[in-house]
Structure 1
């Protein structure tokens, strides 16, 4: 079942996450993974969730994440409370990727979808690799307002910050 505009965001969506702290700002600092209950935390927020096949990969690191970092002020102007990136990588890798991109605090949440469970549940995991697909979802107070998956390998057209901004 893929998500579409007008759907409710699923209940019981839990990711893994390592919260940023000043003490663990170094890329070699591990931190402690915790559960991040997206369904609960996002119920009364406007959220942009974008998913990538893998941290530290060329398209994801060069074309996808930087667009969201650069457009954070524009997303905030459109009322977005939370921006989160999701990948199948473990929470340690996702935390390091956030630090490598100089993302501090909760500017962008770097979330882990272990075994691509969430992506598989909405039909947006890559069947061949088992990784999360490349997609973007806008959730506004529990309702999906935008949901698009890239169908072209390496493309960042429907899931990039510009496409999401245009939908807001």
Structure 2
């Protein structure tokens, strides 16, 4: 029994050590619970600061499409609502309802917080430090490659499904399932 206990402790320490510092965050979820970013350490993660009332809000459509198309192969999309640019709803339930009703969002959404400046969430401070690029508007994106081996900052105006975004994460996805034989 003692050997099993030691083995479990060692396994949990090894798992914790496998989490890159950039993803070693647990953030509150928009509708409760928390999002443990470590669980995505071996996958490409597209992080987006979002807002409900922005000219770029329709990018939710492309984000959801990417999540549905490539999520089964490993892509993770995580939205981070922010009112840093004065275009986000007040209450988490309003944000969640807006995203679901208007864009069918099913990807993980963190609770509303700051994404730039001295009040930025620690995770965003780490993204900014890794890229030397802070969001200058809503729908700024960061692509974190597996193991946090590289972080790419993607401007607001670049659509989430633009070829330069998809081409950057595609090599890190699992191969598509073999076509079913009749």
Q: Output the TM-score relative to the length of structure 2.
A: 0.55
- SS of the equivalent of 2:80 reads strand
What corresponds to 2:141 in structure 1?
Answer: 135
Greater length-normalized contact order (CA 8 Å, ≥ 6 residues apart) = 1
Query: Max radius of gyration: which structure?
Result: 2
Q: Which has the higher strand share?
A: 1
SS for the counterpart of 2:93 is helix
Structure 2 alignment gaps of length 5 or more? 1-19, 84-90, 116-120, 171-182
**How many equivalent residue pairs?**
132
Q: What's the RMSD between the two structures over aligned residues?
A: 3.1
- Partners of 1:101 and 1:139 in 2: CA distance: 29
Task: Give the superposition deviation at 1:145.
Answer: 4.3
Match of 1:16 in 2: 28
Instruction: Give unmatched runs, 5+ long, in structure 1.
Output: 1-7, 19-31
Structure 1's 122 and 43: CA in aligned 2 closer, same or farther, altered over 3 A?
closer
Question: More helix per residue: 1 or 2?
Answer: 2
Listed as ranges, the matches of 1:12-161 within 5 Å are 12-18=24-30, 32-38=31-37, 40-52=38-50, 54-59=51-56, 61-62=57-58, 64-76=59-71, 79-88=73-82, 91-103=92-104, 107-112=106-111, 114-116=113-115, 117=121, 118-123=123-128, 124-126=133-135, 134-140=140-146, 142-150=147-155, 155-157=156-158, 160-161=160-161
Q: CA deviation at 1:136?
A: 2.6
- How far did residue 58 of structure 1 move? 2.1
Query: Taking structure 1 as reference, are residues 68 and 9 closer, same or farther at Cα in structure 2, changes over 3 Å only?
Result: farther
Deviation >6 Å, runs of 4+:
none
The alpha carbon displacement at 1:81 in A equals 4.1
Q: Distance in 2 between matches of 1:95 and 1:144?
A: 31
1:137 is displaced (CA, Å) by: 1.2
Contact between 1:51 and 1:133, CA under 8 Å: does it hold in 2?
Answer: yes
- In structure 2, the partner of 1:29 is none
